[in-house]
Amino acid sequence: MARHKPAAEGGYQRGEETRARIVEAAVVVFGERGYDGASTRDIATAAGVNAPAIQYYFDGKEGVYLACVEHLITLLWRKMSETVEAAEQALADENTADAALIEVSLGILGAVVSTIQDSPQTSAWRAFLDRHQAGLCPASATTAFDERFKARIARVIRLLIARLAGFALEDERTVIHSMALFTQGLAFRVQKPKLLEALKWTEVSVKEMELVRDVVLMQARFTLEGLVRHRDLRAE
């Protein structure tokens, strides 16, 4: 695990600032070149520090990559935590109405879709995550991201589908429906170049993102309401 300590000169605050600058630069470098293609020297140059600083703060390339993952988990939770926590609260009450469960499901999906919006920061971390999710990273980083971010969201979505569809949590249909719902949002991030080409857009600003989100959520609502109707028909 990467070390977390202040620089020998300049005190704690300066050390924290240097560490943060290295992480921000590393996200860009890893996103552009991938884990194997990036070197600690590349990262140090981009961050404006000496190469030994990478070893000092992070114990090498894997350590700085793990720090990037932790940084991105923090950013993603800022976008996702409110909707995930709302879903968890709804699920905690066995009497929560189907309509409310559908709304919190759509809240999570909407937060996922919102990540396609362009900004200098999101462009950098999207490139990083695309390579990361393709498996082009250390196994330790995959484990960290899965355990600290993906697992909680995946479980919440699966619990929502199980309640709405009337299937057991581990039923294969629950798993498939959950994946289908969540990947509706991810698809537009992964296929973003094709989206821009098809719609003759040059970027995804707030207006474009909201249009995509509205369409995705409309389709998802139809799907979730259909699962409820199917469940009720089976119960008759």
In the chain (236 residues long), the average pLDDT of successive 10-residue segments reads 48 75 94 92 95 92 94 89 96 97 96 79 78 83 88 94 97 95 79 87 89 94 97 92
The model's pTM is 0.81
Q: Rounded to the nearest 5 degrees, what angle is found at the Cα of 149, between the Cα atoms of 147 and 152?
A: 80
17: in domain = no
Q: What's the CATH code of the domain at 163?
A: 1.10.357.10
User: What is the reported pLDDT for 206?
Assistant: 87
The total domain count for the chain is 1
C-alpha distance from residue 53 to each of 8, 72, 191 (Å): 11, 21, 37
**Residue-range definition of the domain harbouring residue 189:** 73-235
- In a domain? residue 175: yes
Instruction: Quote the pLDDT of residue 9.
Output: 47
> What pLDDT score does 7 carry?
45
pLDDT at 120: 65
What pLDDT, on a 0 to 100 scale, did the predictor assign at position 115? 79
Give a yes or no: residue 123 inside a domain: yes
